[in-house]
Structure 1
Amino acid sequence: MQKFLIPAVLAAAALSCQAPRPQESEPMKSQKIVVYQVFTRLFGNTNTTNKPWGTKEENGVGKFNDFTDTALEEIKKLGVSHIWYTGVPHHGVIGDFPEIGVSSDDPDIIKGRAGSPYAVRDYYQVNPDLAMDVTKRMEEFEALIARTHKHDMKVIIDIVPNHVSRFYEGKNNPAGVRDFGADDDQTVEYAKNNNFYYIPGKAFSVPEPKNGYQPLGGEKHPFADGKFDENPAKWTGNGSRLAQPDFFDWYETVKINYGVSPDGKKDFEELPEGAEKLDWKAHYDFWQGKDVPDSWKKFKDITQFWLGKGVDGFRFDMAEMVPVEFWSYLNSHIKMTNPEAFLLAEVYNPSLYRDYIHKGKMDYLYDKVELYDTLKHIIQGHGSTDNLVPILEGLKDIEHHMLHFLENHDEQRIASPEFAGNPWKAMPAMVVSATVSTSPTMIYFGQEVGEPGAEDAGFGDPSRTSIFDYIGVPQHQKWMNGGKFDGGQLSENEKALRNYYSEVLNFTRNSSALMGEYMELHSFNRKQNPAYTNKTFAFARWDDRQKLIVVTNFDEFQSVKTTLKLSPELLKAWNLEKGERELKELMFGKKKTKLRVTDDGAEIDLDFGPWESAVFEVR
């Protein structure tokens, strides 16, 4: 049984869950976005067997229909505005579906038994595993879209433009849509309108296994013979140009050609000077009548298909491996169909952030290598909050576009021993992540109940909930409670953790100041006050309706008993009158303190326990 230590001061705040929230006298012009990423195949699975390399009959599998009205309403109550349904398009999977004429993928080019959601096999259908009736699998997903919308949440799905499954088979293409590679000239390595890159004269060879790996854990399978027929071989998804890629390459996928030759030459017109200053409508106009590579058109058609189904946006996998000009083309076409479409990209190179936002017309990028990595280091007890200041300063011109998270399917679970071991350690980071900017906040299903991702699933490694295997998610299953979605099997501690997330996320959704201005108070206090340490972080957020001071204590053992000084710059911006006033904490509604404004400056009394955070309103 999972047990977590929780400071009493946090338990009191979280268990009360009765915090007053700001009441808006008129609709807010904008609100913080909160994304709930859910691995669709795992969400509704109630099976607790968790046999390594288990089949779906042994370990169970979740379905679209598991997202009942009750489940969706409880997700909405958490403070969620958008649900990212991960793993919806039909990807490679072991097992036959004779009802729809779909045969099993080859275990030699599949990772896991359930397959990687990032090795898409057919972009015009959904994963048959997710349907109660595979012959009506698309209808079941369309019904889920409708249910999600009924609960006033938006739907996001994955698009993976950099690569597709090594066994791509478009059996559901709309009329007139040619399959990937159907018209390729396979006698050459590269041609502008080829969808793939080829290695002429060489056949594909399955990688040499490493560390004792065997497909399906060694289980016999008619296709598991160490071979896969692909002649000529194609480049592998991560860019490997070897006919026999390495085991640690993305060997289950093949790279898509976007009109960039092997020597880096671009076979398409580049964006004009100043394109970063133009809106998406101007970008759309630019591409009209241009001769673009065939792969561009194919992915434009794919995204238009899903928009037509009611999908509200996309998360783009490994976007930086695809030229920014393509994103300008694709995203401007998406915005022409739905100007409010939510476009999130996985980009890990900070030097590319502004190009992919301003030229590629992405709405949001992962803030992984700067904010997430720094917060993780602090959570683990090694890092200093001093390091947050330059990161936030360096991103201030694009802060709205940098989506914040502490978990996703690629990252270790907070509660895993490899990360923090105790999910409460991350609560100060959660407060900072959710309140420090106007950007969206994302959480990963199970994060809010302390899921440690400890299972030996088969292909997937412990510390991350496996995306490759049929598996149950134990902490999430306790909240799911057999389909009641009421947390009935959670301990009081675990309920408190979920309540804490709910309070933070709902507060961010309802606070107008969090869509306003930001000023850090950390540097000023580090210089002025020796009792204010590098385990504390404080900042101000405000607009013309609300003024907030956010304070967090990342220290696991030490309380903070000192004063927080407001900087002269903040006093000038807020124009506070002299005198003493009482401040009330808004997020949990339990804490009070005093603000004193004198000729010498202003200060707030702080008395914070370990891992404690607060948001004070200044009136």
Structure 2
Amino acid sequence: MEETKEVKPSKIVIYQVFTRLFGNTNTNNKPWGTIEENGVGKFADFTDKALQEIKDLGITHIWYTGVPHHALVNDYTEYGISNDDPEVVKGRAGSPYAVKDYYNVNPDLATNPANRLTEFKELIERTHHKNLKVIIDIVPNHVARDYEGISNPEGVESFGASDDTSVVYHKNNNFYYSPNEAFSLPDWRDGYLPLGGEVNALIDGEFDENPAKWTGNGSRASKPDQNDWYETVKVNYGVSPEGHRDFDTLPENFDSESYKKHFEFWQGKEVPSSWVKFKDIALYWLDFGVDGFRYDMAEMVPVEFWSYMNSAIKMKNPDAFLMAEVYNPDLYRDYIRLGKMDYLYDKVDMYDSLKHIMKGYGWTDHIPVVRNKYDDIESHMLYFLENHDEQRIASPEFVGNANTAKPAMTVLATIGTSPLMIYFGQELGEPGAEDAGFGDPSRTSIFDYIGVPAHQRWMNNGKFDGGQSTEEEKSLRNFYKRLLNIAISNDALTGESREIHYYNKEHTKNYNHRVFSFVRFSKEEKLIVVTNFDAEVSHQFELRIPQDIISQWGLSENTYELEDLLYQQNNKLILRNGEGFINVSLAPLESFIFKL
């Protein structure tokens, strides 16, 4: 295999792919269907051709979601893997966030489950040959209720193996307990039954766990609710039930210290057992060839632990990619500066704001407000419009039309220096309409064996050429391909960003809150971005570039040619009295990225 040569991209663009769904060509889509009925994708389905197509889309990193071995309903006992009780597994294929064995990978994903680690290693090597980075999940807050570390390296002890189960809490217990109480399954309601009501020898109304452990979302009840994360147990990081923290506190003003200083701080200090176990897991996967991690529900774990683990990771690989799911904006700076995260989801502000705008009742005026709120940490905020937790854009529950994402994606791809992420199938307008079983339509199920129709049409039985895609799907994917390649190849996107939206709202006739504009520039390159969020209304106006920007760019001629990078609808920038003017005619959902 010949390795692709390339220059360093201007921006990180992540392709989140649900690994078990990507290569599945089975179109049955039977609710609660078995692996035999509905099929499953494999590591081997990520062929050189598939990876090249992902690469050519404008991608720099692939997040292979659902790789660690998690609980699932399939018989792999011949490989030394115990069966999982369907009553503590969500769906039939299981939640990727109920990890059962951290030192191995999901046997569903292997052509030969006995060689599953080797097959994943080969996928990492194929990915690296395309100059793509590999990200996998680590889920520090909880593990599967029936965790079983059968693949532990020599000398590594499984979670909970040495716990004192006679007490609720001990610093070095990996779990919290309810002594003298046995675990009871939730009472099923709203028509829900494990495996959709199928008769199964393992479904007997009981799960043997005595004493009961606290549930992953923090529920202390020995009989959790159906809406609790009943399939998982919460990991103890040395925080007592009363909130006392049995570990050292980071020194004052340590938020400005390097990861090396953080690493030195923890040397020689006694830390809870769970801290060491997760650090060792992360270092194991780095040695295996993984380039970084996506951390699930990171805010449910103390920031001091992240300082300890992420500094150890960075000491081993300074370029390791660390992104985390944190939904509390008040914690963002601590988890970046003290926890040494590279990137955090910008869900609560940027995603939510754009969703409101796309649905028609939000104003583009709010985009600069969000940007200004995080100006000091802008480069650490990860932008997206879809991931496995969110509704598909094309679903009726979101906006019902995948093209509605075009202006928002243009903004996200070009407005800042932060990374951008798309979810597989997003580039084809996948609506997530299947009733898969446990998963709800509007989100592609992460719990079931299922096919992803729009993606399957593009995959074309392993040809990965769009041979079965509709013209609309091809057109949308072509838009994403153009946009993402602009994002990773233009020097201006590493430079300054200035919104000109409010200036034009004040001074420009026919410019309103359904339109948005800004400029990006470096010493070598100048870009002007203007977008129309209206799905049915065109907008015509004379976009104005303020005098101070024109002066900063050193422009003095009367007229400058503009090259539109998205649609090749070129234009002119005309100077009058030191101010710049561009005649703009935006069709519904159209955007221009003008290059000076």
Task: Name the TM-score, length of structure 2 as normaliser.
Answer: 0.98
Pick aligned residue for 2:229 from 250, 254, 259: 250
Distance apart, 1:27 and its partner CA: 8.5
Question: Are residue 566 (structure 1) and residue 545 (structure 2) matched?
Answer: yes
Deviation at 1:66, TM superposition (A): 0.5
Amino acid corresponding to residue 83 of structure 1 in structure 2: I
- Which residue number corresponds to residue 206 of structure 2? 227
Distance 1:154 1:162 in 2: 25
| 3-state secondary structure, aligned to 2:461 | helix
Shift of 1:30: 5.8
2:102 to 119, 123, 133: 123
> Structure 2 matches for 1:99-248, cutoff 5 A?
99-248=78-227
| In structure 2, distance between residues paired with 1:30 and 1:288 | 36
Instruction: Output the CA distance in 1 between the equivalents of 2:552 and 2:171.
Output: 55
Query: Aligned to 1:587, which of 556, 566, 570?
Result: 566
Match runs of 1:457-476 below 5 Å = 457-476=436-455
Asked if structure 1 preserves the Cα contact closer than 8 Å seen for 2:9 and 2:489, the reply is: no
Residue 49 (structure 2) pairs with residue 73 (structure 1): no
Counterpart position of 1:397: 376
3-state SS in 1 of match to 2:238: coil
Q: Is the 8 A contact 1:157 1:311 kept in 2?
A: yes
Given that 1:449 and 1:476 are in contact with CA atoms closer than 8 Å, whether structure 2 keeps it comes out as yes
Task: Label 1:136 to 1:27 Cα distance change in 2 as closer, same or farther (>3 A).
Answer: closer
Distance in 2, matches of 1:451 and 1:225, equals 38
- Which whole-Å CA distance do the structure 2 matches of 1:313 and 1:582 have between them? 42
Counterpart CA distance in 1 for 2:531 and 2:189 is: 45
1:119 & 1:529 partners in 2: Cα distance?
Answer: 54
Change (3 A) 1:354 1:173: same
SS class of match (1:482): coil
Amino acid at match of 2:182: A
Shift of 1:412: 0.4
Q: What is the alpha-carbon distance in structure 2 between the residues aligned to residue 601 and residue 581 of structure 1?
A: 13
Indicate the residue corresponding to 1:49 in structure 2. Answer: 28
Q: Aligned to 2:579, which of 601, 611, 618?
A: 601
How big is the shift at 1:571?
Answer: 2.6
Contact 1:91 1:115 in 2 (8 A): yes
1:451 aligned onto 2:430: yes
Tell me which amino acid in the other structure corresponds to 1:569.
D
Q: Which runs of structure 2 are paired with 1:320-335 in the superposition (5 Å)?
A: 320-335=299-314
Aligned residue type for 2:499: E
The unaligned stretches of length 5 or more in structure 1 are 1-25
Q: Output aligned runs, 1:300-315, within 5 Å.
A: 300-315=279-294
TM-aligned CA deviation for residue 98 of structure 1: 2.6
Alpha carbons of 1:143 and 1:29: their partners in 2 closer, same or farther (altered >3 Å)? closer
Larger mean CA deviation between 78-87 and 591-600 belongs to 591-600
SS at match of 1:146: helix
- Compute the displacement of 1:574 (Å): 1.8
Deviations 1:507-556 (A, max 9, x none): 11100110111000001111112410101000000111101100101111
Amino acid at match of 2:114: T
Select 2:262's aligned residue among 273, 276, 283. Answer: 283
Mapped partners of 2:550, 2:437: distance in 1: 57
Distance between the aligned counterparts of 1:423 and 1:354, measured in 2? Answer: 33
Secondary structure of the residue that 1:164 maps to in structure 2? Answer: strand
Residue type matched to 1:617 in 2?
A: K
- In structure 2, the partner of 1:434 is 413
Q: How many residues align?
A: 592
What corresponds to 1:7 in structure 2?
A: none
The residue that corresponds to 1:478 in the other structure is 457
Q: What amino acid sits opposite 2:581 in the alignment?
A: E
Determine the C-alpha separation between the residues in 1 that align with 2:547 and 2:257. 37
> Secondary structure of 2:365's partner?
helix
Q: Deviations over 1:123-153 (max 9, x none)?
A: 0010000011011000000000000001110
Q: Are the counterparts in 2 of residues 237 and 255 from structure 1 also a CA contact under 8 Å?
A: yes
User: CA contact under 8 A between 1:95 and 1:103: conserved in structure 2?
Assistant: no
Which residue identity does 1:604 align to in structure 2?
Answer: I
- Deviation, 1:594, is 1.8
Q: Give yes or no for contact 2:483–2:566 (8 Å, CA) kept in 1.
A: yes
Equivalent residue runs for 1:318-397 within 5 Å? 318-397=297-376
Does structure 1 residue 612 correspond to structure 2 residue 582? no
Q: Give the residue type in structure 2 aligned to 1:610.
A: P
8 Å contact kept, 1:99–1:135: no
Q: Is the 8 Å Cα contact of residues 509 and 541 (structure 2) preserved in structure 1?
A: no
Q: What residue identity is the alignment partner of 2:593?
A: V
1:296 to 275, 279, 288: 275
**Displacement of 1:223 after TM fit?**
1.4
**Matches of 2:248 and 2:136 in 1, distance apart?**
29
Higher mean displacement: 233-242 or 91-100: 91-100
- From 504, 507, 510, the equivalent of 2:486 is 507
Give how far 1:303 is off: 0.4
Q: Is contact 1:184-1:194 (8 Å) kept?
A: yes
Q: 1:520 aligns with which of 480, 496, 499?
A: 499
AA aligned opposite 2:580: A
State the Cα deviation string for residues 556-602 of structure 1 (Å, max 9, x = none): 121111111112332342232141222111233x2122212222522
1:28 offset after TM fit, Å?
6.4
Report the equivalent of 2:525.
546
Distance 2:552 2:339 in 1: 35
Q: SS state of the match for residue 615, structure 1?
A: strand
Q: Does structure 2 retain, via aligned residues, the 8 Å contact 1:89–1:120?
A: yes
Between the aligned partners of 1:504 and 1:461, the Cα distance in structure 2 is 31
**Which residue identity lines up with residue 125 of structure 2 in the other structure?**
A
- Name the residue aligned to 1:6: none
Q: Map Cα deviations across residues 102-124 of structure 1 (whole Å, 9 max, x no partner).
A: 12210111100000000000000
Question: Which residue number corresponds to residue 260 of structure 1?
Answer: 239
Alignment partner of 1:451: what SS? coil
Identity, % of aligned pairs?
A: 62
Q: Is the 1:364–1:401 Cα contact (8 Å) retained in structure 2?
A: yes
Instruction: Describe the SS at the equivalent of 2:561.
Output: strand
Q: Which amino acid aligns with 2:570?
A: K
Q: Distance in 2 between matches of 1:572 and 1:271?
A: 46
Alignment partner, residue 21 of structure 1: none
After superposition, the C-alpha distances for 1:320-375 in whole angstroms (9 at most, x for unaligned) are 00000000000011011111000000000001000000100000000101001111
The question of whether the paired residues in 2 share the 8 Å contact of 1:28 and 1:512 is answered with no
Cα 1:28–1:71 shift into 2, 3 Å = closer
3-state secondary structure, aligned to 2:556: coil
8 Å contact kept, 1:34–1:80: yes
The alpha carbon displacement at 1:85 in A equals 0.3
* Match in the other structure for 1:13: none
SS, match of residue 202 in structure 2: coil
**Aligned residues: CA RMSD:** 1.2
Q: Give the Cα–Cα distance (whole angstroms) in 2 for the partners of residues 126 and 61 of structure 1.
A: 15
Structure 1 runs (4+) greater than 6 angstroms displaced: 26-29
How far residue 99 of structure 1 moved from its aligned partner, in angstroms, is 2.5
Answering whether residue 42 of structure 2 is matched by residue 34 of structure 1, we say no
Structure 2 segments unaligned to the other structure (5+ residues): none
Alignment of 1:89 onto 2:68: yes
Cα deviation, 1:180-215, whole Å, max 9, x if unaligned, reads 001111111111100001111111110111201100
Show the counterpart of 1:10: none
**Normalised by the size of structure 1, how large is the TM-score?**
0.94
